[in-house]
C-alpha cells in the first residue's frame, strides 16, 4: 500500500464519553463524524460493572447500525492489574472478574475488542509476573465465555509497567494457549514517551519492526492517536492535543500515513481544546494530515484555541458578576 492509498483507508475516530442519554457514545461519535470509536463499557474507576437494560442495548445497536459506524472498541477500567497475582491477590481476582465483565459487555453491545493495560509488575520484572498475566487473560476469557478479542495496549513504560516495549507482548502471546484471543492497541503518546521517536522515520520503523517480530503487524487492531505532553523517553503517560505536544503534526502524520498500518482504526484520546476530551478540532487535524480536509492543522488549532479561550472568558465573566453584585 502506498501513502496515498493508506490516506484513503485509515479509519478516523475518537473515544466518546458514554451516557444513557447519548446511546452510550454513539450519538457523540455521529456528532463528531467518526468512522470508528471507543467507549468505556463501565465506569473507569469503579470495580462494579455497568448494567445495561435490554432496551438500552437494542437502542445502542440500532443507533450504531443507522450511523454505519466501523469498529467500536471498549476500554477496560483503569483499576485492572493482571500482574498482581503474587503481590496483591485481592486486586488480581477483582481484575480478572472486571475483565470478564468487560468482555461480556462487549458481547452484549456487539463491540469489536476490549482494550486493556496490563498494569504493574510490582518490581518483579516481566519474568516475575508473566504467569500472573497469562493466567489472568486466560481466566477472564474462560469465565466470560466471550469471543471478543482482548487488545493489549502498550504503555509509556518505566521499569514497573508491563508492555512498554513490544517484545513484552511476544512472551505473553507465546505463553497463552489460544493467542487468537489477543490483539494489540498501539498508543502513539505511550510509544513516544517510552522512547520510540515517531518524529523520525527511523523511530517509527524501529517500533513497527519490533511489533512485527514480537506478534506480527497483523495483530495491531487499533491505534490510539495522541500527542504527548512529555519528551520522547520520559516514560510518563500524558496525552496532548494533536500538534500541541512533542510528537507534533509531522510525527502524527507519519503514523496515520504509514502503509504498514493500513486500514487500522485510528482513535483519539486527546484532552480536547476545551478540556472535555476528544473534539472535532482534533479529528479535523487528523483529516487534514491525511489530506481529507483542505485547511492546515495550524489553522484548525488556532480556531479551536480561540473558541476555547472565548468560552473560558465567558465563564469567568459569569462568575465575576454575582461576586460584584454582592459587594
Ligand atoms: Zn490509549
Ligand atoms: Zn495514556
pLDDT of 159: 87
- Tell me the CA–centroid distance for residue 325 and ligand 2, in Å: 44
Ligand nearest to the CA of 267: 1
Sign of CA dihedral 96, 14, 112, 204: negative
Centre of ligand 2 to C-alpha 140, Å, is 23
Q: Give the pLDDT confidence score for residue 243 in this predicted structure.
A: 98
- Residue 309 CA to ligand 1 center (angstroms) comes to 27
User: How far apart are the CA of 186 and the centre of ligand 1, in A?
Assistant: 7
Measured in Å, residue 98 CA sits from the centre of ligand 2 at 20
In angstroms, what is the span from residue 111 Cα to ligand 1's centroid? 17
pLDDT digits (tens, 9 = 90+) for 157-174: 988 999 999 999 999 999
Grid cell locating 220: 495491531
**Cα(191) to centroid(ligand 1), Å:** 10
**154 alpha carbon – ligand 1 mean position (Å):** 8
Cα separation, 95 vs 84, whole angstroms: 9
pLDDT of residue 327: 38
CA 190 to ligand 2 center in whole angstroms: 6
Cα 187 to ligand 2 centroid, rounded to whole Å:
7
Q: Which residues of the chain have pLDDT under 50?
A: 323-327
From the CA of 187, the nearest ligand is: 1
The architecture that CATH gives domain 3-297 is Alpha-Beta Barrel (3.20)
Going from the Cα of 269 to the center of ligand 1, the distance in angstroms, rounded, reads: 6
284 Cα–ligand 2 center, Å = 21
Centroid of ligand 1 to alpha carbon of 237 (angstroms): 9
Contact yes or no for 215/173 (Cβ under 8 A): yes
Report CA dihedral (192, 258, 277, 43) to the nearest 10 degrees.
Answer: -80
CA of 189 to the centre of ligand 2 (A): 7
Whether the CA torsion 176, 182, 183, 184 is positive or negative: it is negative
Task: Specify whether the CB–CB gap between 64 and 74 falls below 8 A.
Answer: no
Look up the pTM and report it: 0.94
Distance 126 CA to ligand 2 centre (A): 20
- Helix locations, 110-149, DSSP H: 125-144
User: Do 259 and 1 contact (CB within 8 A), yes or no?
Assistant: yes
Whether 59 and 45 have beta carbons less than 8 Å apart is answered as no
Q: How far apart are CA 15 and CA 224, in angstroms?
A: 9
Quick one: pLDDT at residue 321? Answer: 54
| Whole-number pLDDT of residue 1 | 65
Q: How close is the Cα of 271 to the center of ligand 2, in Å?
A: 11
73 backbone φψ class: left, alpha, beta (φ>0; ψ -120 to 50)? beta
- Give the Cα separation of 26 and 31 in Å (integer): 9
Residue 28's Cα: distance from chain center in Å?
16
pLDDT of residue 320: 63
Distance 231 CA to ligand 2 centre (A): 14
| 203 Cα: distance to centroid of ligand 2 (angstroms) | 19
Contact, 166 vs 215, CB < 8 A? yes
Amino acid at each position: 500500500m502506498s501513502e496515498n492509498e493508506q490516506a484513503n483507508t485509515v479509519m478516523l475516530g475518537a473515544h466518546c464519553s458514554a451516557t444513557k442519554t447519548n446511546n452510550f457514545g454513539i450519538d457523540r461519535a455521529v456528532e463528531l463524524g467518526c468512522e470508528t470509536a471507543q467507549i468505556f463499557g463501565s465506569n473507569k474507576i469503579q470495580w462494579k460493572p455497568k448494567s445495561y437494560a435490554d432496551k438500552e442495548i437494542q437502542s445502542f445497536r440500532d443507533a450504531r447500525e443507522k450511523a454505519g459506524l466501523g469498529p467500536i472498541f471498549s476500554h477496560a477500567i483503569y483499576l485492572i492489574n493482571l500482574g498482581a497475582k503474587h503481590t496483591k491477590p485481592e486486586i488480581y481476582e477483582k481484575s480478572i472478574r472486571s475483565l470478564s465483565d468487560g468482555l461480556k459487555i462487549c458481547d452484549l453491545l456487539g463491540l469489536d475488542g476490549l482494550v486493556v493495560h496490563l498494569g504493574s509488575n510490582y518490581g518483579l520484572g516481566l519474568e516475575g509476573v508473566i504467569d500472573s498475566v497469562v493466567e489472568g487473560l486466560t481466566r477472564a476469557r474462560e469465565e466470560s465465555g466471550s469471543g471478543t478479542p482482548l487488545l493489549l495496549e502498550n504503555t509509556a513504560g518505566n521499569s514497573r509497567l508491563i508492555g512498554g516495549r513490544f517484545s513484552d507482548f511476544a512472551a505473553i502471546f507465546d505463553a497463552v494457549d489460544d493467542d487468537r484471543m489477543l490483539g494489540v492497541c498501539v498508543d502513539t503518546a505511550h510509544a513516544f514517551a517510552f522512547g520510540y521517536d515517531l518524529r523520525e522515520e527511523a523511530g517509527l520503523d524501529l517500533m513497527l519492526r519490533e511489533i512485527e517480530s514480537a506478534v506480527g503487524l497483523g495483530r495491531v487492531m487499533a491505534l490510539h492517536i495522541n500527542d504527548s505532553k512529555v519528551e520522547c523517553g520520559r516514560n510518563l503517560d500524558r496525552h496532548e492535543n494533536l500538534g500541541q505536544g512533542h510528537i507534533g503534526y509531522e510525527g502524527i502524520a507519519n503514523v496515520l500515513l504509514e502503509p504498514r498500518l493500513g486500514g487500522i482504526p485510528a482513535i483519539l484520546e486527546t484532552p480536547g481544546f476545551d478540556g472535555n476530551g476528544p473534539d472535532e478540532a482534533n479529528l479535523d487535524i487528523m483529516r487534514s494530515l491525511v489530506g481529507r480536509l483542505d485547511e492546515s492543522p495550524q489553522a484548525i488549532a488556532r480556531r479551536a484555541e480561540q473558541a476555547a479561550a472565548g468560552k473560558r472568558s465567558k465563564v469567568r465573566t459569569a462568575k465575576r458578576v454575582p461576586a460584584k453584585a454582592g459587594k
